[in-house]
Amino acid sequence: MSVHYENKEEVLSAGAAQKSAVRFSQKKTPKKILVSEILGTLAAVIFFGVPFYFVFINSLKPAEEAAQMNLSWPNSFHMLENYKEVLTINDGRLLLAFFNSTIITLFTILILIIICSMAAFVLARREGLSKKLNYLVLIGLMLPPAIVPTISVLQTLGLFKTMPGIVLLEGALRFSFACILYRAFVATIPRELDEAALIDGCGPLRLFFQIIFPLLKPVTSTIIVLSSIQVYNDFENMLYFFPGADNATVQLTLYNFTGMFGTSYHYLFANVILISIPPLILFIFFNKKIVAGMTAGAVKG
């Protein structure tokens, strides 16, 4: 699973896509293109848009109407009531969850950026070592965490059910992905730069933090965006390693709802919409970064 990061964004950028598409495609009449545009949009809207519309429209309905679970236009809008109720119920549990998830995400990203870039720098420069450790890094991409042993380790260290515990754990579980992305990027930075710095009397710490790390900015921003969405959306690890009454996190709030209200779909859907807003905002602003990170390694050479 070798990762070649360079040129990904360029390949995917609109300009390149346009040029190649114009060059590649068959000569179609404008009418045919228009038909496929319309059909394609229609299919995409029905297949992907309807579930989204369904959740949104039902989050605006009063309880009885939402319980019918259909797509009809609401008779009366209860947007403010529903969303306010969802935000304030249980002493503002959802707000607490937003706060917790934000803190966890921020600190996980911080740790991830620091440890992965440092490790990847040395691994990329020492190819023999990198080869030896390759499988060790790769299994982190494949295997899920071992649940009970991890809990026992966290308990021994006194970190189970604590913020630092979950942050360190999320960092460990996402290490491999970030490290591989960083390693591929460092490999494109010429070694001569290091040698020049050495001759000018630069130490290893200064070389890394003042010269190399700033050059890693494109991949750093990709990792920030991607990992923050992943940590924010994480349900499984929060369920296992961060349980407890005060440890609310956003994905788990959905479960508090289904248990408490049974079939109060209007609140449930309002909650779904609220917790989906942050990733969607990130998507609107960092569309290309996200796609670049997710397609890294797809195209060799």
Q: Which residues, 126 to 185, sit near another protein by CB under 8 A? A: 126, 136, 139-155, 157, 168-169, 171-173, 175, 179
Look at the chain and count its residues: 301
**Contact call for residue 110 and another protein (CB under 8 A):** no
Task: With beta carbons less than 8 A apart as the criterion, state whether 71 and 53 touch.
Answer: yes
Which 3 state secondary structure label does DSSP give 13? coil
Site for another protein in 75-104 (CB under 8 A): none
The correct pick among 5, 98, 208, 267 for binding another protein (CB under 8 A) is 208
Site for another protein in 6-25 (CB under 8 A): 8, 11-12, 14, 16-17, 20-25
**Contact call for residue 295 and another protein (CB under 8 A):** yes
CA gap 204, 241 in Å, rounded: 37
Site for another protein in 252-281 (CB under 8 A): 254-255, 258, 265, 268-269, 272, 275-276, 279-280
CA gap 280, 277 in Å, rounded: 5
* Structure-block tokens of residue 82: 């529903």
Neighbouring C-beta atoms of residue 245, cutoff 10 Å? 6
Which one, of 286, 293, 279, 217, lies nearest residue 5 by Cα?
Answer: 293
**Contact call for residue 190 and another protein (CB under 8 A):** no
Task: With beta carbons less than 8 A apart as the criterion, state whether 232 and 80 touch.
Answer: no
Based on CB atoms, which residue is closest to another protein, 79 or 129? Answer: 129
Instruction: Give the interface segment with another protein, choosing from 49-57, 77-85, 88-96, 215-223 (CB under 8 A).
Output: 49-57
The correct pick among 188, 204, 260, 285 for binding another protein (CB under 8 A) is 204
Interface size with another protein, residues (CB under 8 A): 108
CA gap 96, 99 in Å, rounded: 5
